[in-house]
Amino acid sequence: MKFIGIGYGSMVSSGRIVAVCSPESAPVKRMVSDAKDSGRLIDVTCGKKTKAVIVTDSDHIILSALSAEAISEKLLEDDKNE
């Protein structure tokens, strides 16, 4: 099991990530709102602006202050190292 940093010392298992999205679109905003209402939202932004929304296979939604591009680069590096 490999972990990638998603900002401010927080990490997530790279194998559990289904999608990394920008938080700007209306469907993603609805998904975040629904996750918050049902207790599936994990906010690791430390009060900073949300720049990426990570969807996991356990249906949890993680908010990160790192950009979606930065997280995807880390995932690609992780794939190269395997």
The mean per-residue pLDDT over the stretch 51-73 comes to 96
Q: How many domains does the chain have?
A: 1
Q: What's this model's pTM, rounded to 2 decimal places? A: 0.92
Instruction: Name the token pair of 32.
Output: 């975040």
Residue 78 has pLDDT above 90, yes or no: no
The whole-number pLDDT of residue 16 equals: 94
Q: What gap in Å lies between CA 36 and CA 41, rounded to an integer?
A: 5
**pLDDT band for position 77 (50/70/90)?**
confident
Q: What gap in Å lies between CA 71 and CA 76, rounded to an integer?
A: 9
State which residues form the domain around 49: 3-80
